[in-house]
Amino acid sequence: MSYVYMKALESAPERYDVGINWLGWGRLTAIRSHIADLMEGEGHKVLEIGVGTGTQALLLAERGLQVLGIDNSSRMLSIAQRKLESKRRESEEGKRIASRIELQLKGAAELDKFPSNSFDFVTSTFVFSELHDSEQRYALAHAFRILKPGGALILADEVLPSRVSKLGLHALIAVPLKFLTFLMTQTTTKPVRNLDKKVEGVGFTIQKTENYQLDSFKLVQARKPKDTVRDRERFTSPRFKPILPPKGGVRTTLWQTAMRMIGHETEIGLIRCGNPSADSPVLCTCNFKLTVHRLHNTLKRKKIDAWILVAPTHGINAWCAASGDIFNAESVVTAIKISSLEKYVSHRRIILPQLAASGIDPKKVKQLTGWHCVWGPVQLEDLPGFLEN
């Protein structure tokens, strides 16, 4: 079953556009065009967080904007690159449009690499609903920093309707669509809570919001005040405290084992196991709740003091997530930065699950963060002996 799931994940990007349009109730194409119309200015620079297959980037480039699109999936970017090649072959105008787009393999946690006050617009569609709360706050804080004073943030994403009447009707429509989207793309989203407050919390001024789909989809237009001065030297990234391990009894364990094809997510970040010190080992794993629960219980049972670093993998187990390009170098980098790991640990060494070797590039993790990766054992029962040696 895991092998079948892994193969489905490997081919998911090819089906992404169709599946995500279902999730947008068939209106996502019109919403994307509307978003592109909101950004004016020939030659203005746009950063698209989660460029995906490049659909939005092409709409922006057609309007004369210079687009830098980032995504943490190399397979998504491959499809986007093929779209650019196809656009170049259409005509001379197609060549000019494609030349306005640059694609980079980066996750939201790598926004700290961009210089302050360097973009006119930052935009993202159906991305924040795939991020955890800590990732959302981190991304918004850096989006504020890298926008020029007066620059605009344009977000479109899934939210929960505020009215009870709409909430019930929305559930009747959205749940089947989410299930179909998951079957098509192995992608799922969760409504962004308090989106307006999170945007305003980092310093933005919200200018306008638009609601669609029974108020379950929100478009937020916000600006960075023109009198803002925030550079890299003065900016401090959000700091996050260690999180609690997931709870789980026998019933939960049996259920998650039987239904492991459906993502069972736990929060990403850093978990204390026992009484770890700055010299204690750091074990990185996926955010499949059952995996984190078993790892924590093993360390607790063996009385091993350690840190567990939980990386975002959409609640998918390590082997499948790595094969599907979800548990990759970018997700490990995200976990390192979001968890404020350097604040709690003095060394720079992370132990990775060996079953994730197909997806994680240790050299890239070290290049981006300075952390050295070590492959751990396949079986949990071998972990105590591995740590002793």
The residue whose two tokens read 């390009």 is 325
Tell me what pLDDT residue 10 has: 42
| Gap between the Cα atoms of 282 and 350, Å rounded | 5
| Gap between the Cα atoms of 199 and 182, Å rounded | 28
Tell me what pLDDT residue 17 has: 62
Spell out the residues 6+ positions from residue 197 whose beta carbon is closer than 8 angstroms to its own: none
User: pTM higher than 0.95, yes or no?
Assistant: no
| Gap between the Cα atoms of 319 and 352, Å rounded | 12
Residues paired with residue 288 on neighbouring β-strands, in sequence order: 265
Tell me what pLDDT residue 389 has: 79
**CA-CA-CA-CA torsion sign (161, 165, 170, 172):** positive
Instruction: Judge if 2-223 and 250-388 fold alike in CATH terms.
Output: yes
pLDDT tens, position by position, 8-18: 434 455 556 65
Helix (H) or strand (E) holding 122: strand 119-125
Tell me what pLDDT residue 45 has: 97
The residue whose two tokens read 């892994």 is 6
Q: What residues does each domain of the chain span?
A: 2-223, 250-388
DSSP state of 119: E
Low-confidence ranges of the chain (pLDDT < 70): 1-26, 163-189, 229-241, 243-245, 247-263
Helix (H) or strand (E) holding 273: strand 269-273
Tell me what pLDDT residue 59 has: 96
CATH fold group of domain 2-223: Rossmann fold (3.40.50)
Report how far apart, in Å, the C-alpha atoms of 309 and of each of 64, 95, 157, 331 are: 42, 44, 28, 11
Tell me if the domain spanning 250-388 has CATH number 1.10.760.10: no
Residues paired with residue 102 on neighbouring β-strands, in sequence order: 68
- Residues 359 and 322 sit within 8 Å (Cβ to Cβ): yes
| Gap between the Cα atoms of 336 and 355, Å rounded | 20
| Gap between the Cα atoms of 298 and 303, Å rounded | 8
Spell out the residues 6+ positions from residue 179 whose beta carbon is closer than 8 angstroms to its own: none
Helix (H) or strand (E) holding 219: strand 217-223
How far is Cα of residue 145 from the mean position of the Cα atoms in its chain?
19
| Gap between the Cα atoms of 165 and 39, Å rounded | 34
How far is Cα of residue 246 from the mean position of the Cα atoms in its chain?
20
Q: Please count the CA atoms within 13 angstroms of the CA of 50 that sit on its side-chain side.
A: 17
| Gap between the Cα atoms of 178 and 52, Å rounded | 18
Helix (H) or strand (E) holding 211: strand 205-212
